[in-house]
Amino acid sequence: MKISAMATNAGVDLVRRMRRNRTTPFIRSLVRETVLRPEDLIQPLFVQAGDGAPEPIASMPGVVRHNVATLAEECRKVADLGIPAVALFPRIDATLKNPTGTHATDSANVLFAAIRAVKKAVPHLTLIVDVALDPYTDHGHDGILDGKGSIENDSTVEALCRLAVAQAEAGADIVAPSDMMDGRVKAIRAALDAAGHRGVGILAYSAKYASAFYGPFRDAVGSGKVSAPLDKRTYQMDPANVREAILEVELDEQEGADMVMVKPAGPYLDVIRAIREATNLPLAAYQVSGEYAQIHAAAKLGWLDYASTRDEALLAIKRAGADMILTYFATEVAEALR
């Protein structure tokens, strides 16, 4: 009792009391190391042909497949909120798909109409367009099959070059190859330059992992059924590896990438940090559909507070080192930040 009383009267002998910097909201704001802004966000959007009402995606609450007209309207809203960019992904009718994904460069591809409509409606909004074949192949893979149970790398790269040039001609500001084929950044850069599109940037999906978190996205673009025995792990990265991700980034940087990306984001914060320390290029991170869906699901069950969990997850991605975050939460977070 005597010792306890002495400690109470004298207090604890501390020079540094960390709690002083946590006393009030204003003090906490003064010492805050990481701040999330609308300017840090990129809103992914889905588009499909036709003029029907936007179609909700069951596994991604609040996310829809737009028609071209409603996509342009949504992009106006995004820009008005101070979000600098959107990333476009098409959903292609199954009847237009084939083993080599030739509809990707067909002039009737809804993606090209969407690019033109968005650039006309919101010219200053940065338009990032996915360069990949999986929305267009009937087997759901990101490339052309070689007949031996694998994706043929070089013929796929040639197809991706044609797609990237077509996207640039339609008005894309940045093309984003997400396929994970070897050498595609160098080839796309050469193809864009040869076609006179030297000002079009490349955001490389440099460290795209073979993740279980992509399921809802595949529902959204209609590429969910991947044919056996092919496995996306033959081209997307092993979730066990970090050093390999750094090498992928180094190669993409050498090949002319203007920006690099880690995908997914939340389960790969260590990879984001490692790449941030390995490159001076702008670094994007993609908070993917499964990350988005699980926050919604847990909040719906009452297990997590929706807004707090959403914001903390995004803040962690930026704290890890991302300069920009692709997230389906972008528009609602920007509204909350206003």
CB-neighbour burial class of residue 15 (10 A; exposed 0-12, middle 13-18, buried 19+): exposed
CA distance 84 to 326: 11
In Å, how far are 158, 169, 290, 307 from 255, measured between CA atoms?
A: 16, 22, 31, 40
In Å, how far are 182, 303, 314, 321 from 278, measured between CA atoms?
A: 20, 37, 22, 11
Write out the two tokens for 104.
């990707």
Catalytic hit among 119, 208, 232, 318:
208
**Partner residues linked to 280 by β-bridges:** none
The pair phi, psi for residue 261, each rounded to 5°, is -140, 150
Catalytic hit among 97, 232, 263, 318:
263
Write out the two tokens for 216.
């809802």
CA distance 205 to 212: 17
Write out the two tokens for 36.
């999330």
Instruction: Say how many C-beta atoms besides its own lie within 10 A of residue 53's C-beta.
Output: 10
Is 148 labeled as catalytic in the residue annotation? no
The pair phi, psi for residue 38, each rounded to 5°, is -55, -30
Maximal C-alpha separation, the chain: 87
Contact 41, 330 (CB under 8 A): yes
CA distance 128 to 218: 19
Q: Which residues are catalytic?
A: 208, 263
